[in-house]
Amino acid sequence: MAAEIHSRPQTSRPILLNKIEGHQDAVNAAVLIPKEDGVITVSEDRTIRVWLKRDSGQYWPSIYHTVSSPCSCMSYHHESRRIFIGQDNGAIVEFLISEDFNKMNHVKTYPAHQGRVSDMVFSLQSQWVVSTGHDKSISWMCTQSGSMLGRHYFNSWASCLQYPSAVRMFTSASLTHMFRYDNDTQHAFVGDYSGQITLLKLEAQTYTTITTLKGHEGSIGALWWDPVQRWLFSGASDHSVIMWDIGGRKGRTLLLQGHHEKVQALRYLHLTRQLISCSVDGTIVVWNMDTQREEAPQWLDSDSCQKCEQPFFWNIKQMWDTKTLGLRQHHCRKCGKAICGKCSSKRSTYPIMGFEFQVRMCDDCYNTIKEEDRTPLATFHEGKHNISHMDMDPGRGLMVTCGSDRIVKIWDMMQVVGCSIATGFSR
């Protein structure tokens, strides 16, 4: 049915609906069960749990299953009720969940990696399970035969994966941490610990490296692909989020800086043009992407200040010729020029370029910024717990977060994301 969009005030905050406790170690992934008042969690304590909401309003485990190794990630496909669990020992275990979510049967175990499985996704269309691991590889295996179809090695740990698919745009199934895979074209985005994102085309027994994306200065913590706009979002340990305009084919990137810690979870809501990002310190940021934004400039190289022309400290010749001490180099975030501290004494936010915090500006650029240019284009909320994974059900306006504090939180995000989508699901 057609979706109805209802305006919501942007000053509202997420409402904590439930807090689930019971795990004995870090909760590495949690997903909302579509059309059900339920959550599936996996943990370092080696347990897989399905939590259903009881008449009391509290969540209790209807399934409590222990496996042989700590659970690092999962991919859940709701239509088939198949769930794949990545483990610390490198194996992936497949289970089939019963219709009433009270029983789970083992289907198959896949020897996917030689080290911890960092991320994975199941593709029903291709009958593949694609995964990344700490053995610096991506592997893809056939779920029908259980055989390995292919493997590719990177120079550093493969930390996350995206397998872009229009089918998954409105579902919470198969959320992954650092990897995205396209069911239609069998392309995969893989983020690694060096800060690089690699685009691969996977085929049976072979693969092709399409391109690499470089922009982060720290390990990639999360990826999200929007198949409509053909935008890739990445979050990293450098506290930043980058939007890569893949569909535009012009190399356009937008930098978003609104976190103080590593970004671990991302979700783009196409209907409202909003991006939700979460970091390990519990910060939840909602970015307005329905606005004209500017690319941050590339930093320029220079041996002297591009404003006052004083030499930087490595410019020995000019220091000798002018009998002056060298200065430390800085950069203006608005124009990208190499400048000294005296010529960049001002600080300002500049949200249109993604700077929600005050950053260094040269005096000339600072004077061009009007007060309306400082209007925030993001809202900031406190989750009050460590967030290493997040899942959303946009149809019901629900979000679930989990992390190393062993707590799972379920949030009502209707007042935050700017609209509600009337889908017929009961809340």
Nearest alpha carbon to residue 84 among 22, 161, 137: 161
Q: Give me 329's structure tokens.
A: 């180099």
* 141 contacts: CB under 8 Å, gap ≥ 6: 92, 110, 112, 128, 129, 130, 131, 147, 148, 149
Cα distance between residue 118 and residue 160, in whole Å: 6
Cα distance between residue 238 and residue 133, in whole Å: 21
Cα distance between residue 234 and residue 264, in whole Å: 9
Cα distance between residue 409 and residue 35, in whole Å: 18
Does residue 333 contact residue 294 with C-beta atoms inside 8 Å?
no
Q: What's the predicted TM-score (pTM) here?
A: 0.88
pLDDT in tens, the chain (427 residues): 233 333 334 458 999 999 999 999 999 999 999 999 999 999 999 999 999 999 999 999 999 999 999 999 999 999 999 999 999 999 999 999 999 999 999 999 999 999 999 999 999 988 999 999 999 999 999 999 999 999 999 998 888 888 764 333 323 333 333 455 555 568 899 999 999 999 999 988 899 999 999 999 999 999 999 988 899 999 999 999 999 998 877 788 999 999 999 999 999 998 999 999 999 999 999 999 999 999 999 999 898 998 998 888 887 888 888 888 888 899 999 999 999 999 999 999 999 999 999 999 999 999 999 999 999 999 999 999 999 999 999 989 999 999 999 999 999 999 888 654 433 333 3
For the purposes of burial, counting CB atoms within 10 Å of the CB of 292, is it exposed (0-12), middle (13-18) or buried (19 or more)?
A: exposed
